[in-house]
């Protein structure tokens, strides 16, 4: 009896031990498998992220090598400032602290993409001569980026409108009080620029009470070949 009793205790003990052992390894394995999968999932997510191409300025298209990628956003009402990105470089933005109400202008070398200068000109209470001094004279082969913010037009005179028109603008002659306007032109351009958008300030259609909706434009500009 005593012998059988000892055997029983041993059997029970060994059953407990094996159960515990299995339980332990099983849970461990399961835990490991789970963490491995988490790592793997992370890896594959990262790989996917890397695989997804980053286009310059975050635009939809991937521009060919002899083109500049750009993305520009006009100001929104008198609240949010405009921004201009060229080949992954922010030329003008609120963060760069180089924008202001009125007309925002960035001049770039059309052959090599180098930023030449930026400026902003208050077209409501500023002086038109400041804008004129900035835009005239402009050397041939300059690419011009223009983004409106709040009011781009009250102080615009015929001479300035004529200059923008000569750079390929279709709207420079009609842009008015608090219209939104985006334009890319070039000194020496022989045709109308395909990169221009304009929205009329109109109480009936305005998105904001006193201003039309902001504009966004992106694409590829052919580099000037000499
Ligand atoms: C690009 O043009 C600017 C002048 O517009 C010049 O200073 C710069 O050196 C040029 N860069 C290259 C790489 O040619
Ligand atoms: C642009 O850069 C090219 C090459 O560096 C230079 O020859 C040309 O004069 C520059 N043009 C402007 C408008 O800066």
Ligand 2 atom showing the smallest separation from residue 140 Cα: 13
**Domain shared by 81 and 137, yes or no:** yes
Domain boundary among 33, 52, 71: 52
Bridge partners for 90 per DSSP: 85
Dist. CA 190 → ligand 1 center (Å):
23
The encoded tokens of residue 101 equal 């109400």
**Domain shared by 6 and 64, yes or no:** no
**Residue 179, number of CB atoms within 10 A of its CB:** 21
**Domain shared by 46 and 98, yes or no:** no
Residue nearest to atom 5 of ligand 2 (CA): 112
Residue nearest to atom 7 of ligand 1 (CA): 114
pLDDT the model gives residue 185: 97
**Domain shared by 43 and 61, yes or no:** no
- For 218, counting Cβ atoms within 10 Å of its Cβ (0-12 exposed, 13-18 middle, 19+ buried), the class is middle
Expressed as residue numbers, the domain containing 8 is: 1-52
**Domain shared by 26 and 38, yes or no:** yes
Ligand 1 atom showing the smallest separation from residue 112 Cα: 1
User: Rounded distance, CA 158 to CA 34, Å?
Assistant: 71
pLDDT the model gives residue 27: 42
Residue closest to 207 by CA, chosen among 22, 108, 79, 63:
79
Among 89, 114, 224, which is best to mutate for testing ligand 1, by the most ligand atoms less than 8 A from CB? 114
User: Rounded distance, CA 156 to CA 146, Å?
Assistant: 14
**Domain shared by 85 and 13, yes or no:** no
Q: Are 91 and 106 in contact (CB under 8 A)?
A: yes
Enumerate the H helices of the chain as residue ranges: 2-51, 128-135, 158-166
Among 107, 115, 135, 141, which is best to mutate for testing ligand 2, by the most ligand atoms less than 8 A from CB? 141
**Domain shared by 120 and 140, yes or no:** yes
**Domain shared by 63 and 40, yes or no:** no
Domain boundary among 36, 52, 68: 52
**Domain shared by 18 and 69, yes or no:** no
User: Rounded distance, CA 105 to CA 46, Å?
Assistant: 39
Helix (H, G, I), strand (E, B) or coil at 13: helix
The strands making up 83-86's β-sheet, listed across from edge to edge, are: 89-92, 83-86, 67-73, 216-222
Among 106, 107, 110, 111, which is best to mutate for testing ligand 2, by the most ligand atoms less than 8 A from CB? 111
Residue nearest to atom 7 of ligand 2 (CA): 111
> Which residues' Cβ are closer than 6 Å to ligand 1?
109, 112, 114, 116
**Domain shared by 75 and 9, yes or no:** no
Contacts of 122 (CB under 8 A, 6+ apart): 100, 101, 102, 155
> Which residues' Cβ are closer than 6 Å to ligand 2?
109, 111-112, 116, 139, 141-142
pLDDT the model gives residue 202: 86
**Domain shared by 75 and 182, yes or no:** yes
Dist. CA 225 → ligand 1 center (Å):
14
Question: What's the domain count of the chain?
Answer: 2
Q: Are 142 and 135 in contact (CB under 8 A)?
A: no
Dist. CA 191 → ligand 2 center (Å):
21
**Domain shared by 108 and 17, yes or no:** no
pLDDT the model gives residue 40: 47
Local confidence pLDDT in tens for the 226 residues of the chain = 566 666 676 666 665 555 554 444 444 444 444 444 544 455 455 555 555 678 999 999 999 999 999 999 999 877 789 999 999 999 999 999 999 999 999 999 999 999 999 999 999 999 999 999 999 999 999 999 999 999 999 999 999 999 999 999 999 999 999 999 999 999 998 899 999 999 999 888 888 878 888 999 999 999 998 7
């Amino acid at each position: 009896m005593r012998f059988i009793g000892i055997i029983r205790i041993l059997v029970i003990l060994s059953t407990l031990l094996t159960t515990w052992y299995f339980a332990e390894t099983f849970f461990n394995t399961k835990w490991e498998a789970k963490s491995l999968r988490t790592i793997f999932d992370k890896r594959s997510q990262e790989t996917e992220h890397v695989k997804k191409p980053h286009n310059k300025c975050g635009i939809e298209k991937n521009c060919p090598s002899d083109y500049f990628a750009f993305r520009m956003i006009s100001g929104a009402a008198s609240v949010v400032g405009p921004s201009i990105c060229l080949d992954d470089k922010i030329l003008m933005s609120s963060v760069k602290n180089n924008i202001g109400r009125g007309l925002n202008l960035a001049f770039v070398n059309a052959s090599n993409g180098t930023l030449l200068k930026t400026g902003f000109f208050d077209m409501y209470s500023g002086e038109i001569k400041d804008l004129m001094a900035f835009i005239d004279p402009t050397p041939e082969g300059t690419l011009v980026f223009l983004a409106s913010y709040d009011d781009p037009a009250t102080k615009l005179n015929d001479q300035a409108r004529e200059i923008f028109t000569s750079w390929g603008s279709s709207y420079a002659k009609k842009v008015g009080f608090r219209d939104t306007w985006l334009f890319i032109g070039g000194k020496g351009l022989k045709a109308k620029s395909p990169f221009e958008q304009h929205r009329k300030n109109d109480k009936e259609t305005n998105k904001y009470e006193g201003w039309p909706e902001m504009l966004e434009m992106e694409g590829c500009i052919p580099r000037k070949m000499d």
